[in-house]
Amino acid sequence: MALPACAAGVLQPSLQPERGAPARTTCPCRHSRGEAELAESRPRSVAASAREDPPRGVSRGFNSQPPTEEPLKASSSLAGAARAPLFPLLPRGRRGRMHDLRRRWDLGSLCRALLTRGLAALGHSLKHVLGAIFSKIFGPLASVGNMDEKSNKLLLALVMLFLFAVIVLQYVCPGTECQLLRLQAFSSPMPDPYRSEDESSARFVPHYNFSRSDLLRKVDFDIKGDDLIVFLHIQKTGGTTFGRHLVRNIQLEQPCECRVGQKKCTCHRPGKRETWLFSRFSTGWSCGLHADWTELTSCVPAVVDGKRDAKLRPSRNFHYITILRDPVSRYLSEWRHVQRGATWKASLHVCDGRPPTSEELPSCYTGDDWSGCPLKEFMDCPYNLANNRQVRMLSDLTLVGCYNLSVMPEKQRNKVLLESAKSNLKHMAFFGLTEFQRKTQYLFEKTFNMNFISPFTQYNTTRASSVEISEETQKRIEGLNFLDMELYSFAKDLFLQRYQFMRQKDHQDARRKRQEQRKFLKGRFLQTHFQSQGQGQSQNPSQNQSQSPNVNANQNVTQNLIQNLLQNLTQNSSQNSIQKENRESPKQDPGQEQSDSNTSNGTNDYIGSVEKWR
């Protein structure tokens, strides 16, 4: 017999009537609410037994679920058995979502319960452990076993804070190379502010042998006198940045006046209307755009003292400085600059009183500029002045016939140019390297005794570093600039040796000052000791008379100590002077003799001061 339509959607069968009740012939949907209320009013066992079989005459519906043996829970998502018959009436997708929600709710409750019990057990165990430790340390004074509720909460809060810190640390430092976990930062001394900017080792192994005079660059620059600093600016070596440091970043009695919107600054000497700096940002391109060594040495004296008579010109000291750069990086940077439209047509290239002809120095392009040229075309031009530019601009071109290539063979010409560039660079007052900005600043300050206001910045990303070239292209660039490669190797070795020499000299001077301060403090101690003894003798004449043998003995002891101290000082000073004379006699210069005399005068002054205190 077919079931009515309302009976097909019932999830659970209706409750079975009590024993002796008449069989029900009506539709169970009409009495579902009444049966639910009747089931709630009955005992638990009767309601559970009533759900075992469907009522007589009614079979399980199509969507009905098999009966379960567990009782209905009031804390379920269906909120009791009264709403259970309405659940099958929902769409199938909605029922699936409700089942997933119920599963997640039960999983979250289980996790919360496990976490709560775990933390409670951990706090309980920690409380017992701390109680045992405190009882061992403090004995009967510690009553950790009877900790109240507030202490339990505090302990639980500490445990939660520790777990939170561990979780945050795992998010911040997921790997083992975490910077926060390196204990060397706490145990190591202060880092060297002049550590090599290219992250190489602070120790440098020299490859060239230089004399002490080559390494010690100490220029007696008199800014109030007639001395002049001449900056030789080579293209794409960072000279623009260094030139701005010279006019804007030096601590001077009378700083340079730089106005907004003007490239040139006025750098006058204190109390004079005369410049002390010959550079792009002070005097402009007075000798031509990017003038080289040959042009500057013949042009600067005429420009500075051109209006004066030759007899009235002062005897000036021209201190030449420059900046060098790695040849490959400089070459690529110049190519990118030319590619953007730079030409340097205003360069005069004056040599031996005349500029070169078009046959001696032909151009690599026919138009107004060489903008947009590819790297291959830039390298293929045999007359490109970018090739070995640093050697050409630092050498004396008059030794090879200027730009006339027919004067001598190419091999001999290259050798003469390289040796001339090395000699001029070594005898310059100062030169720096673009790759070592902080060391460049340090050596300039030590050479000219002029300090910068703010430290130099090392830029590791430039336009040249963004150019990706193949290994074959790099080798070709190195071949085109083979003279610059050898010059840069020589310059880097000399630069780092000068830096190490100056640093060691600073450490020795600091050690000498500490020794002098220590000796001075010893003398002050002897002076205060004698003064206290004299005051004691004047205040207690009777005690001094009664204890005259002891006082005389103490005075004899102190006098012997002073005599021994003076003898040791004189012997040490004489031995040091003898050792210095024996060690530096073959190569002693007037500056060293003056330093030795200063040290001997210092020791004599100290001995005289001790004798006065005595």
Active-site residue set: 290
- For strands 430-433 and 318-324, give the pairing: parallel
CB of 202 closer than 8 Å to CB of 194: no
The CA–CA distances, whole Å, from 464 to 210, 214, 237, 288 equal: 32, 32, 11, 26
Would you state the torsion angle of the CA atoms of residues 36, 42, 45, 46, taken in this order, to the nearest 10 degrees? -80
Per-residue burial over 481-515, b = 16 or more CB atoms within 10 Å of its CB, e = otherwise: bebbbbbbebbbbbbbbbbbbbbeeeeeeeeeeee
Mark out the alpha helices in 42-91 (DSSP H runs).
44-50
CB of 456 closer than 8 Å to CB of 440: yes
Tell me the three state secondary structure of residue 336: helix
Using only C-alpha atoms, the chain has a radius of gyration, in whole angstroms, of 47
Rounded Cα distance between 355 and 142, Å, is 97
Tell me the three state secondary structure of residue 430: strand
Rounded Cα distance between 589 and 585, Å, is 9
Phi and psi at 16, nearest 5°, equal: -75, 135
Phi and psi at 453, nearest 5°, equal: -75, -50
Six token digits for residue 534: 């004299």
Write out the DSSP string of 129-170.
HHHHHHHHHHGGG--GGG--HHHHHHHHHHHHHHHHHHHHHH
Rounded Cα distance between 29 and 14, Å, is 9
CB of 250 closer than 8 Å to CB of 258: no
Helix (H) or strand (E) holding 230: strand 228-232
- The angle subtended at Cα 254 by Cα 253 and Cα 256, nearest 5°, is 135
Rounded Cα distance between 552 and 554, Å, is 5
CB of 226 closer than 8 Å to CB of 319: no
